[in-house]
Amino acid sequence: MKVALVHDWLTGMRGGERCLEVFCEMFPGADLFTLLHVPGTVAPVIERRRVVTSFIQRLPGAATGYRRYLPLFPAAVRRFDLTGYDLVLSSSHAVAKGARAAPGARHVCYCFTPMRYVWDLYGDYFGPRADLPTRIVMPAVAAGLRRWDRRTAARVDHFVAISRFVAARIRRAYGRDADVIYPPVDVSRLHIEESPGDFYLVVSALAPYKRVDLAVEAANRLGRRLVVVGSGPERARLQKLAGPTVEFAGWRTDAEVADLYARCRALVFPAVEDFGITPLEAMASGRPVIALRQGGALETVVPPGGTEPPTGVFFDEQTVDGVVAGLREFERDPARFDPKALRRRAEAFDRPIFRERMKSYLDARIGVRQPC
């Protein structure tokens, strides 16, 4: 069976790329199609294969400013020639699921979310923070992209969502049912330290919907030390908000991030996330999570008061006051979180489990018994 992998873009190792890394291991002979590839930004198992890029790759400033070409993404993914491939496995949060499989081929989409820019998070990207020309142009552009997104969803044979939260989004946006297979956390690359440090941690792309600004302002208000790991278009604005207790660490290697997880007091997670790998990475490091009580965090974080050992606390409002309340609730009794129990919770989402579930799913759905 000849397999094509389709991924939105390759510009760094985030949660979606961790899933793609497993798909590359499952199908070592597969070709990889993507709108844009910045060499050296993804794992070696991804970098080593044949990567086919779109015309977006050749546009001015695309390596860092590819999002400005959003209206061109459907045309770019449509031009991929997938003739001769028996299976198309797309991993999509934007347009990868719009790739055209050849007649008779099967298309399975591992869906991180329907295109977030034009559905649930339109306001975060193109609302009051956007410049005036963008706010004028985007309503018509977004309406066209939504129509394209719905239309191309009909060409996918099977949707697999990363969470029940995303499965509900797929149902609302596309009118399609989706199976759920949780994405992986690589427990083996994370470790537990005997005692935590004195700082809270955020590990995130610095994009508007991640709401890192709430964590920054909460740390300012309480005078708590906060380390922010990640990069993105929000960094300059966030640095202007930050007080003296907030440190921006930028991009860090996996080993450096693992060390920060193990030494932090807790991970702060203020976003409405599709799933959220970072809370599980923190748990695998024996550190609890302070999370917004919405989205995918509800499927991974266990609050105090139940029958299972707690792995974090929730706050109810996506505001600075909400994050402050979460920090204070955590600090009320940090000893209630057992590092070994936290790691056991993360192990239920471990990478080998994800790989086996995907293999079993593809076997059951389309008869992929011997990945090539």
Give the tens place of pLDDT for each residue, 1-34. Answer: 899 999 999 998 888 999 999 999 999 999 999 9
What is the full DSSP assignment across 195-263? Answer: S--SEEEEE----GGG-HHHHHHHHHHHT-EEEEE--STTHHHHHHH--TTEEEEES--HHHHHHHHHH
Query: What distance lies between CA 49 and its chain's CA centroid?
Result: 22
Quote the pLDDT of residue 371: 46
Query: How many CB atoms lie under 10 A from the CB of residue 333?
Result: 11
- 310: Cβ–Cβ under 8 A, 6 or more apart, which residues? 288, 302, 303, 304, 336, 337
Topology adopted by domain 187-347: Rossmann fold (3.40.50)
To the question of domain 3-184+350-366 being in CATH 3.20.20.150, the answer is no
Alpha-carbon gap, residue 289 to 273, rounded angstroms = 14
Strands, sheet with 199-203, edge to edge from the N-terminal-most edge strand: 246-250, 225-229, 199-203, 267-269, 289-292, 312-315
Q: Which amino acid is at 67?
A: R
Q: Which of 57-66, 304-313, 362-371 has the lowest mean pLDDT?
A: 362-371
Q: Which amino acid is at 180?
A: V
Percentages helix, strand, coil for the chain (3-state, rounded to 5) are 45, 15, 40
- Mean pLDDT, to the nearest integer, of 253-259? 94
Q: What is the pLDDT of residues 132-175, one digit of tens each?
A: 877 787 788 888 899 999 999 999 999 999 999 999 999 999 99
pLDDT at 262 over 70: yes
Q: Judging by beta carbons within 10 Å of its beta carbon (0-12, 13-18, 19+), is residue 102 exposed, middle or buried?
A: middle
What are φ and ψ of residue 88, in 5° steps?
A: -110, 120
Alpha-carbon gap, residue 320 to 218, rounded angstroms = 6
Quote the pLDDT of residue 194: 85
Domain with CATH 3.40.50.2000 in the chain: 3-184+350-366, 187-347
- Mean pLDDT, to the nearest integer, of 343-358? 97
Q: Read off the tokens for 177.
A: 């049912």
Percent of the chain with pLDDT over 90: 83
Quote the pLDDT of residue 372: 43
Q: What is the pLDDT of residues 232-244, one digit of tens each?
A: 889 999 999 999 9
Q: Read off the tokens for 124.
A: 């975060």
Token pair 């949060």 is found at 93
pLDDT at 359 over 70: yes
Q: What is the pLDDT of residues 277-312, one digit of tens each?
A: 999 999 999 999 999 999 999 999 999 998 999 999
